[in-house]
Amino acid sequence: MSRTEPNSTEKRFFERFKQKATKIVGDSSALKNLLVKVQNKMDDMEDDDSLKGKIVAYLNLVVRMISNSVSGRYPDMPWQTLVMIVAGLIYFIAPIDALPDFIPVAGFLDDATILAWLGKSFQDDLNKYREWEELNLSR
């Protein structure tokens, strides 16, 4: 059974990560460090099954969106979207969250649930970024 909404434990953990995200968004060095950690975790996942492949594709999109936003190339990213996505990335790389990553399957599924929920919640912002990316980076 697939979930697209976080449970109450995941939401409590996510709220803590959202507070951290607010601080990280204001610190370009910390944000770059987070993106490196996310990339490292994605590299470890790339050769895995289709769900993980979808997660990697989504994460690649949000990493590009954050990088282009922070560099000033993409100025249209709302602050709240940035904070929430950064909080999701922190949740994703945290080894101990609602369901620790060392628990086979379940540890990954809670990360996937949070990322799917964020993807749904900010779908309009992600779609706007994709359109911008197609117009501006394909030249």
Residue 58: both structure tokens together: 């989504």
CB 31, CB 139: distance < 8 Å: no
Contact (Cβ atoms closer than 8 angstroms) between residue 61 and residue 55: no
Please report whether residue 83 resides in a domain.
yes
Query: What share of the chain has pLDDT > 70, as a percent?
Result: 71
Grade residue 125 by pLDDT with cuts at 50, 70 and 90.
very high
Residue 75's pLDDT is 92
Residue 25 domain-assigned (yes or no): yes
Does 3 map to a domain? no
Question: Is there a contact between 88 and 115 (Cβ–Cβ < 8 Å)?
Answer: yes
Long-range contacts from 90-97, C-beta under 8 angstroms, 24+ separation: 90/17, 90/20, 90/21, 90/24, 90/34, 91/13, 91/14, 91/17, 92/38, 92/41, 92/59, 93/34, 93/37, 93/38, 93/41, 94/13, 94/17, 97/10, 97/13, 97/17
Q: Measure the CA–CA gap between 86 and 82, rounded to whole angstroms.
A: 6
Q: Is the confidence at residue 119, as pLDDT, over 60?
A: yes
73: which DSSP letter? Answer: S
Is residue 58 predicted with pLDDT exceeding 60?
yes
Q: What's the number of domains the chain is made of? A: 1
pLDDT for the residue 3: 54
Instruction: Provide the pLDDT confidence category of residue 48 given band limits of 50, 70 and 90.
Output: low
Q: Please check whether residue 2 lies inside any domain of the structure.
A: no
Structural domain span for residue 108: 8-137
Considering the domain boundaries, does residue 1 fall inside one? Answer: no
- If you average pLDDT over residues 75-88, what whole number do you get? 89
Decide: 101 and 111 in contact? Cβ < 8 Å: yes
Residue 131 pLDDT class (50, 70, 90 cuts): very high
Give residue-wise pLDDT tens across range 12-38: 777 777 888 888 888 888 888 877 877
Please give the pLDDT value at position 87: 86
Q: Does residue 33 belong to any structural domain of this protein? A: yes
Tokens standing for residue 135: 């117009």
Judge whether residue 1 has pLDDT over 50.
no
Record the tokens describing residue 36, joined without a space: 């490196």
